[in-house]
Structure 1
């Protein structure tokens, strides 16, 4: 019980405070890189996933939300709406890491697939409300157009549009995030250990 409670607690120290802007910067650069090169990926969740792995679901969620707000204010206003999806990605990443989905490559791939499904479930309703079911990614929207032309249900078309980009994106992002995490010194990782003295955000 104590272990589960510590999952939703944050140790408010210099390391935790520094993690959020670092994760936001990683997300911001990744998204700009993907959009500039028109990649079939978003690359805007590497920092969020990394923060979830290292700092837990709360820090992961905060990193994702703040990233979307900043990107929405500076580059693409629509990005702020998807802060909800980024919160879900951060929470899912923290939970999966907490329950042992780390270390082995096959676990990292499953980790990425699960995060992709969580992200898609949250994003598809937003895509439908704001963009008629499309994602804005040229590769995913090509799949949407094809399915729509063949009279496939718009919600299913939207989900396939989203997951066709989200799955490879979150798998790649998870692998990169775990690669960075794996080279961190243990002394740094222990700064985020919530099993001892913690401060809640309640």
Structure 2
């Protein structure tokens, strides 16, 4: 079943066969993201599952994947994740749309799409981090915020500059991981899913 590029259809994307994929994507976000945070990587890597499911199923499924992962993290690890659900919605929506545009067909278009996603994520997350948490969220990129504060930048400026420094790299890497995963999935399986394979 083919889609128009900007089609948003809950009923087509949320079915008994796609719900397990959404759960898997949310779990992937949690495991990879928490591992990155545990070892204090200066990256998040907590949206690989969101991007993957947005590609395979569609933007609605991607948004639900990200939101569910952050709700789970908020309840069991750090309540701050709940406030960043708007960022996961942006990631899921954008990833699903660019997948339909063919962004994941080539590595270089994947990389470019990841950079743009990083900029969008930075714009979305900066006000939340600055005004809700004073710029510090106990993540691996907090040292960048503290650095910019130390050289005289305001909280908002520091958080935004941190986002510009880290998010494009983080999302580009996440997009490339998904590109590799998609290239390993047989075409007949992709064609059975309502997202990427039928874009």
Q: Which ranges of structure 1 fall in alignment gaps of 5 or more residues? A: 195-202
Instruction: Give 1:104 deviation, angstroms.
Output: 1.5
CA distance in 1, matches of 2:60, 2:128: 23
Instruction: Give 1:33 deviation, angstroms.
Output: 0.8
CA distance in 2, matches of 1:75, 1:43: 16
1:80 aligns with 2:113: no
Question: Contact 1:135–1:161 (CA<8 Å) still a contact in 2?
Answer: no
**Count of residue pairs brought into register by the alignment:** 192
CA distance in 1, matches of 2:115, 2:82: 24
1:36 aligns with 2:12: no
Instruction: Say what the alpha-carbon RMSD is for the aligned residues.
Output: 2.0
Instruction: Give 1:121 deviation, angstroms.
Output: 1.1
CA distance in 2, matches of 1:102, 1:182: 9
Q: Which ranges of structure 2 fall in alignment gaps of 5 or more residues? A: none
CA distance in 2, matches of 1:72, 1:54: 26
Change in 2 beyond 3 A, CA 1:41/1:192? same
1:124 aligns with 2:121: no
What does residue 93 of structure 1 align with? 95
Aligned pair partner of 1:71 in 64, 73, 76: 73
CA distance in 1, matches of 2:180, 2:5: 28
What does residue 165 of structure 1 align with? 166
Instruction: Provide runs of 4+ in structure 1 moved above 4 Å.
Output: none
Change in 2 beyond 3 A, CA 1:168/1:135? farther
What does residue 47 of structure 1 align with? 49
Change in 2 beyond 3 A, CA 1:141/1:6? closer
TM-score normalized by structure 2?
0.88
What does residue 197 of structure 1 align with? none
